[in-house]
Structure 1
């Protein structure tokens, strides 16, 4: 069976992006309908300072979230993650960081067929390992873990040679109305936003298979 193409616009610090993808992956495996994922960049906080910001303070400033709201959201995310084999290891020291360098590294990794592996590694680094995915040392290490050449990865990050490519990709999707993530485009024409759950994704995949056969 030809895989269902899924373009996913997301950020590596977006918890619902991690959940949405894992739900989709689980639906694909359970249904036996293969998918081919293509990741695209989106920055939740393009103006985030290099030093980042305490996550609780960031959410309070951006969304007006109280400390109790944050705790409730973290518990909800942890519950979703546990069901998907993914740990959201938040703490009071968790930070929101700038992700532009991470997207540049993934753009470079795409040319070597490693973007998907790197994306998953960076999601795990940020949420499960609580690492700073804006830090070049961390990014270089994660590149090496998925089989990319460490020195080449560092050179890409230090030169900024992929910055324009990332900006162009971001502009492509925002110009088509993508304002929040995760945003998934199935077969390049059917937009689905948010984390929809395994059952809904399974239904979507089956509907697309049926449409092909019609």
Structure 2
């Protein structure tokens, strides 16, 4: 008999290590399907809550935030691209890519959770940003992602043009900060076990099996 396992995946849709972590986690869960039956809940985290709607060039942003020079940034992008490709996700970012304010994305993700479409929307948003290079500050791009995830376009548009789910997302963001989450991805299993970062498949699988055995 497999063990039910709740997984809270705290992340942002413009975080490259978050999509890597998610794909790696999902592979690990598939490998460990003999011991666990997982239920993943996506939780909000904004890497750049003060980012303006028009976004910022990624190279400029990384240089300002981390003091990283262009050569080192390219090396990191190449590593991220190769790692993501190894997990079956196409990463097309380059020096002209942009990073966006993602608060509206998290509002839609909260709504999607009420309709059991969180995973589909999360992947649609990751794909729009990292693979297609689309503008996540453009609400019509977010509507397209909602439709791709099997949600209603008109309903998504209504949420985005209203104040729907603002308080819910702020509450959830505050909760996870209060739990000590300061970097993503953060994977919390059964509300007790924390796995930080975009870990390799083997590391996730080892932790999942160990936690299942403890229980």
The alpha-carbon deviation at position 209 of structure 1 amounts to 1.6
Distance 1:190 1:125 in 2: 31
Unaligned runs of 5+ in 2: none
SS at match of 1:159: coil
Distance in 2, matches of 1:160 and 1:14, equals: 25
Counterpart of 1:72 (choices 71, 75, 94) is 75
**Which residue, 125, 128, 143 being the options, matches 1:125?**
128
Contact 2:77 2:94 in 1 (8 A): no
**Residue of structure 2 in register with 1:15 after alignment:** 16
**In structure 1, distance between residues paired with 2:174 and 2:166:** 12
Q: How big is the shift at 1:163?
A: 0.9
Counterpart of 2:191 in 1: which secondary structure? coil
Aligned with 1:19: secondary structure?
helix
* Residues 1:200 and 2:206 are matched in the alignment: no
Residue 77 (structure 1) shift: 0.3
Matched position secondary structure for 1:85: coil
The 3-state SS of whatever aligns with 1:7 is strand
Q: Which runs of 5+ in 1 are unaligned?
A: none
Number of equivalent positions: 212
Q: 1:43 Cα deviation (Å)?
A: 0.2
Q: 1:113 aligns with which of 112, 116, 127?
A: 116
Which of 148, 153, 157 lines up with 1:154 in the alignment?
157
Pairing 1:53-68 to 2, within 5 Å after superposition = 53-68=56-71
Q: 1-side partners of 2:4 and 2:127: how far apart?
A: 25
Q: TM-score, normalised by structure 2?
A: 0.96
SS in 2 for 1:92: coil
